[in-house]
A and B are shown apart, each in its own frame.
Chain A
Amino acid sequence: MKAPQWYRRLERWVEGDSPVLPEPASHEEYYQEKEKLPEERTIGKPLLFEAGISTVRRMSLVFAIFSAVVFSILMLITVAYLPRFGDVEAPPENETSRRYIEKGVQEVGATNLVANIILVYRGFDTYGESCVLFLGATAVIMLLEADRKNTSKKDEEELERMDRIDQQGRNQILGHITTVLMPVVMLYGLYILCNGHLSPGGGFAGGSILGGALILCENAFGVQRVRSFFNHHVYHIIKVGALIFYAVLICYTIYVGSNGLENIFPLGKPGSILSAGIILPINVAVGLEVACTMYAFYTYFGRGEL
């Protein structure tokens, strides 16, 4: 059955061909033509080649400049209507933010107000983001996981060749520097992780520094060395365990808070390390998860396995 003419024209238009050129005699001829390079076709040339590339480029350049100018003028006009910094009448200056600023330290206990807001006042939202991170990492690993079905012999040979090059290139300089730097970088990451409720930083920042330290270790000493303490099992345990720990803490806090019960996590003295209730354990859990995700992404993109 032959498709109606309007449908064939629509199909060619969707495929990027010119609908005005003569139509091919049959479907087979059309698809044979499409196998060739665009310049060599007699029928069904893309619009770009028909009009000449330079004309299309020039027109798109003119359009780009025009739209950029129009949008920048629109944005500048909008900026003029924004409220001033520190304006009392501004829309963000409402009772919510006033409450966060006035009672945040007293109610939640962390001197870092941002940590108060994202981990306790809006903790459910941040928990959702952590789930998104977990799901994203899982999906990426599903796509990149190398097993028998999606690796050919050529891939394995290529990986072996790269490993050999890596082995030859592994020399004294990087190893010595990493031996000096690794503890410092790890300590810095842990510091940021554990001081998330006192100073800027927290789970995501500290975790990415820890992940960077793991990647440095992998580069300097090879993947076998990292596997001795961070393999598949450890990865899964930390990742799932941290998320479940986070979920349990958040559920407990929401339940206790909404029913007016007493929280078993003491708020402590604001400004000391062991204070602010659930923020410190949550930061540690999030940081571990982020570090695992970063290192796993690195190795999965490189070799397809941990």
Chain B
Amino acid sequence: MMMREILAAIFIGLGILCCGIAMFGVYRMDYVLTRIHAAAIIDTLGTLLIFAGMIILRGFGWASAKIVLILVFQWLTSPVSTHRIGRVEVMTNPNLDKHCEVKR
């Protein structure tokens, strides 16, 4: 029992660390394309680690099945929205080359 809680704590702590890094990145970066790169960490790696910790803590059952479902929907939708934001920025910003050092 003790082992399981320690393992869950490690996972959840790592997830919170990921979210913290992403949060720091969102405020530290100054441009949309770099910011979404930082923010996407929360939705993918952060949620994966935190949900894995929760599943380890509670064991398998209906609750963990629902958590897995939430994770699936997060992973389906969040990268798409990130991709969409980036795409719109690339298409509408006329001064894109000023922000990107590498040529398109």
A residues contacting B by CB (< 8 A) are 165, 168-169, 171, 173-174, 177, 180-181, 219
Contacts and interface: CB of A to CB of B under 8 A. Distances in A.
B91 A169 contact: yes
Contact of B77 (A165, A171, A181): A181
A180 B76 contact: yes
Interface of B: 73, 76-77, 80, 83-84, 87-88, 91-92
B92 A177 contact: no
Contacts of B88: 165, 169
21 contacts: A165-B88, A165-B91, A165-B92, A169-B84, A169-B87, A169-B88, A169-B91, A171-B87, A173-B80, A173-B83, A174-B80, A174-B83, A174-B84, A177-B76, A177-B77, A177-B80, A180-B76, A181-B73, A181-B76, A181-B77, A219-B84
Contacts of A219: 84
A220 to B, nearest CB: 9
Interface of B is mostly: helix
B79 to A, nearest CB: 9
Would you list the 5 A-B pairs with minimal beta carbon distance, nearest first?
A177-B80, A165-B91, A169-B87, A169-B91, A174-B80
Contacts of B77: 177, 181
Contacts, number: 22
A165 to B, nearest CB: 5
A44 B77 CA distance: 56
B42 to A, nearest CB: 19
B91 A168 contact: yes
A185 to B, nearest CB: 9
Contacts of B73: 181
A173 B83 CA distance: 9
Nearest to A219: B84
Contacts of A171: 87
Contacts of A181: 73, 76-77
A180 B80 CA distance: 13
A219 to B, nearest CB: 8
A168 B91 CA distance: 9
A124 to B, nearest CB: 38
A173 B81 CA distance: 10
Contacts of A174: 80, 83-84
A174 B83 CA distance: 9
